[in-house]
């Protein structure tokens, strides 16, 4: 992983390793570890290599113009990172989203959740030396990219969620195509479980490794699959339902062990549950109706502030926006799950073996570009 080694002058037994940021496996992120033999005795995360100034950029564009550039921190989950932004702007401006638009938003959110999680799973598979679990998720991810292309007109970043709803209605035949893809994918998930999660070598490398207790998970403030793997069944879609999620029946997936296997298995359970959610959304969605509110050229609301969040692929993702009554936000602060989950890295690595570092690190579902923003 692009490791640089130096000796500690005060103690010849310790080595300092700079892990990243140039290697793709570290995700443009650097953390410095100190080793005593094969054991990690210190870890110092060093983010900031892909800082883009998203929050400051928001102050120079109106509420609608901010949508495209806000997708860039997590381009493979671009629908969810703009979802909470749109909810916050709608609260500030008093915009009401049409019911059909709410359903389409949720469908796009769940499809994008699959795209991101498969991307994460592919990298986790290659981290464990399981090349099949790099190729399979990468290939199956194309199923959902194709669906999002049919829905939004773009394959990676979509600029689909906007304040007031979504940019366009679903195309003809989309429902049947989506159901066919999901039916196929659910069969593939069973194969994923057999070849990867029930693989004795994978279990040997992950079970009991990097245990994060329930108390520590709450104290550190981690979120998403990292929190739920430690026995905390918390999901924003259930705790603070947005749009029409309060009408959807689904279970919050969680485990109790808090180890690297649990943190890798909960996202798998989320993908399976997400298929169940999409089926309900397609079934309950109104047959017709508007998909977005009619907005003025530069929508604005009275001076005020709003904070809204959604359950993204990395956990809670929220926007705190202050408005001064102009068409541009006065201040924008983005709270992302990746930054919160990074706090668990030194907690878990200290005392662990260096060989377990890749397994622990990537199981934290940390995406450096999102954390740096």
Sorting pLDDT into bands at 50, 70 and 90, what band is 75? confident
pLDDT at 1 over 70: no
So what's the pLDDT on residue 4?
A: 53
pLDDT at position 17 = 86
How far is Cα of residue 49 from the mean position of the Cα atoms in its chain?
19
Q: Check residue 18 and give its pLDDT.
A: 86
Task: Indicate the pairing of strand 30-36 with strand 304-312.
Answer: unpaired
Q: Which of 45-59, 85-99, 172-186, 225-239 has the lowest mean pLDDT?
A: 45-59
- SS3 readout for the chain: CCCEEEECCCCCCEEEEEECCCCHHHCCCEEEEEEECCEEEEEEEECCCCCCCHHHHHHHCCCCCHHHHHCHHHHHHHHHHHHHHHHHHHHHHCCCCCHHHHHHHHHHHHHHHHHHHHHHHHHHHHHCCCCHHHHHHHHHHHHHHHHHHHHHCCCCCCCCEECCEECCCCCCCHHHHHHHHHHHHHHHHHHHHHHHHCCHHHHHHHCCCCCCCHHHHHHHCCCHHHHHCCCCCCCHHHHCCCCCHHHCCCCCCCCCCCCHHHHHHHHHHHHHHHHHHHHHHHHHCCCCCCCECCCCCCCCCCCEEEEEEEEECCEEEEEEEEECCCCCEEEEEEECHHHHHHCHHHHHHCCCEHHHHHHHHHHCCCCHHHHHC
Contact predicate 80/312, CB 8 Å: yes
Radius of gyration of the chain (CA): 21
**7: pLDDT strictly greater than 90:** no
The SS3 of residue 108 is helix
What is the phi/psi pair of residue 267, to 5°?
Answer: -60, -35
CA distance 10 to 8: 6
Predicted pLDDT at 11: 60
Mean pLDDT of the chain: 91
CATH 3.40.50.150 fits 54-336, yes or no: no
Among 22-26, 175-179, 228-232, 359-363, the range scoring the smallest mean pLDDT is 22-26
pLDDT range class, residue 98, cuts 50, 70, 90:
very high
Is 95:163 a contact under the CB 8 Å cutoff? yes
**CB neighbour list of residue 337: distance below 8 Å, 6 or more residues apart:** 223, 224, 312, 314, 315, 316, 317, 365, 370
State the Cα–Cα distance between residues 57 and 327, nearest whole angstrom. 14
The pLDDT of residue 25 is 67
Q: Which band of pLDDT confidence, cut at 50, 70 and 90, is reported for residue 3?
A: low
At residue 79, the pLDDT reads 93
Residue 204 has pLDDT above 60, yes or no: yes
Decide: 357 and 24 in contact? Cβ < 8 Å.
Answer: no
Arithmetic mean of pLDDT, 138-155:
94
Which pLDDT belongs to residue 13? 79
**pLDDT tens column, 17-70:** 888 787 666 778 888 999 998 899 999 999 988 888 999 999 999 999 999 999
Given a contact cutoff of 8 angstroms between Cβ atoms, the answer to whether 136 and 184 are in contact is no
**Has residue 250 got a pLDDT over 80?**
yes
Sign of CA dihedral 338, 372, 161, 295: positive
Q: What percent of the chain has pLDDT over 90?
A: 79
Q: If you average pLDDT over residues 254-273, what whole number do you get?
A: 95
Indicate whether 81 pLDDT > 80.
Answer: yes
Weakest mean pLDDT among 9-18, 126-135, 152-161, 360-369 = 9-18
């Amino acid at each position: 992983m692009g490791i640089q080694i130096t000796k500690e002058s005060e103690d010849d037994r310790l080595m300092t390793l700079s892990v990243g940021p140039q290697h793709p496996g570290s995700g443009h992120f650097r953390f410095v570890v100190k080793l005593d033999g094969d054991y990690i005795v210190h870890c110092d995360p060093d983010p900031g290599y892909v800082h883009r100034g998203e929050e400051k950029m928001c102050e120079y564009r109106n509420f609608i113009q901010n949508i495209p550039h806000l997708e860039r921190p997590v381009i493979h989950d671009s629908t969810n990172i703009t979802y909470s932004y749109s909810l916050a702007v709608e609260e500030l401006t008093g915009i009401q989203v049409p019911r059909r638009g709410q359903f389409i938003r949720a469908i796009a959110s769940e499809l994008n959740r699959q795209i991101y999680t498969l991307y994460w799973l592919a990298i986790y598979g290659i981290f464990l030396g399981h090349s099949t679990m790099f190729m399979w998720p990468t290939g199956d991810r194309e199923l959902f990219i194709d669906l999002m292309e049919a829905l939004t007109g773009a394959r990676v970043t979509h600029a689909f969620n906007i304040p007031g709803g979504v940019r366009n209605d679903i195309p003809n035949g989309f429902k049947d195509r989506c159901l066919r893809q999901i039916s196929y994918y659910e069969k593939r998930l069973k194969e994923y479980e057999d070849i990867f999660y029930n693989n004795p070598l994978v279990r040997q490398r992950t079970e009991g490794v990097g245990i994060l207790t329930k108390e520590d998970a709450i104290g550190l403030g981690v979120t998403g699959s990292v929190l739920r793997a430690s026995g905390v069944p918390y999901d924003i879609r259930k705790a603070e339902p947005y749009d029409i999620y309060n009408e959807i029946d689904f279970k919050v997936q969680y485990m109790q062990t808090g180890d690297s296997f649990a943190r890798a298995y909960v996202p798998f359970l989320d993908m399976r549950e997400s298929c169940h959610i999409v089926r309900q959304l397609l079934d309950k969605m109104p047959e017709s109706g508007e998909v977005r509110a009619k907005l003025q050229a530069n929508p604005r609301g009275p001076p005020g502030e709003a904070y809204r969040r959604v359950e993204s692929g990395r956990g809670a993702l929220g926007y705190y926006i202050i408005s001064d009554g102009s068409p541009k936000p006065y201040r924008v602060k983005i709270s992302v799950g990746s930054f919160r989950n990074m706090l668990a890295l030194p907690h878990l690595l200290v005392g662990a073996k260096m060989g377990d570092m890749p397994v622990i690190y990537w199981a934290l579902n940390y995406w450096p570009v999102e954390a740096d923003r």
